[in-house]
Amino acid sequence: MSKPGIDGHWRGGVVVSRGLRDAGMEVIFGGFQNVEQIVESAISEDVDVIGLSMHSGAHLTYTERVINLLKEKGVKDHFLILVGGVIPVKDFLVLKEMGVANVYGPGTVVRDIVKFIVENIKK
């Protein structure tokens, strides 16, 4: 679970991480990270899911950069990528077209994220 950039709204990322923990998952909390650090963490930790939590309005830029770097390293398809935060509905499709598996805006129930991960994890 990462927060790209320096947007200080931690609550969402922490609440979702806690929810996933309580669903029996191991969550590596990355906190503020730049694009290189996010990709490096995901690779080193060999995670199943990359969660990007953003409330700054920069979700399109950051997501695109993360995905481009993953592709550059040839590991994009190794991970399930989820984006959450204050994301306008009109951007959901844009993000999905970039290669994001699902997007979670305000009002999301953590249980739905758990269900999606369990059903879509790459084996």
Partner 1 sequence: MKRNYDVDVLIEKFKKKDKIALARLITLVENNPETTTNIFNNFNGSEKDSYIIGITGSPGVGKSTLVNALSKILLESGKSIGIISVDPTSPFTGGAFLGDRVRMTDVSLHPNIFIRSLASRGYKGGISRAVFDISLLYEAFGMDFIIIETVGVGQSEFDIYNLAYTTVVIMVPGYGDSIQIQKAGIIEVGDIYVVNKKDLGGEDIVVQMEMMLDDATIQSGWRAPVVMTNSITGEGVNSLIEKIMDHKEHLELSELLKEKKKHRFAYKIEELLSSKIGKVLESLISKDDLNKISNSVLQGKKFKIYDMVHHLFSNVKFEMKKSD
Q: Which stretches of the chain bind partner 1, using CB under 8 A?
A: 17-18, 20-33, 36-37, 40-41, 43-46, 73, 75, 77-78, 122-123
Residue whose CB is less far from partner 1, 61 or 78? 78
Q: How far is the CB of 34 from partner 1 (least distance, A)?
A: 9
- Shortest spacing between CB 30 and partner 1, in angstroms: 6
79/104 with CB nearer partner 1: 79
- The DSSP result for 39-105, as a single string, is HHHHHHHT-SEEEEEE-SS-HHHHHHHHHHHHHHTT-GGGSEEEEEES--HHHHHHHHHHT-SEEE-
Nearer to partner 1, 27 or 95 (CB): 27
Residue type, 80: L
Q: 11 vs 122, which CB is nearer to partner 1?
A: 122
Minimum CB separation from partner 1 for residue 90, in Å? 28
- Residues 87, 103: contact at Cβ < 8 Å? yes
Cβ neighbors of 109 (< 8 A, separation 6 or more) are: none
Closest contact distance (angstroms) between CB of 37 and partner 1 is 6
Q: 32 φ, ψ to 5°?
A: -65, 125
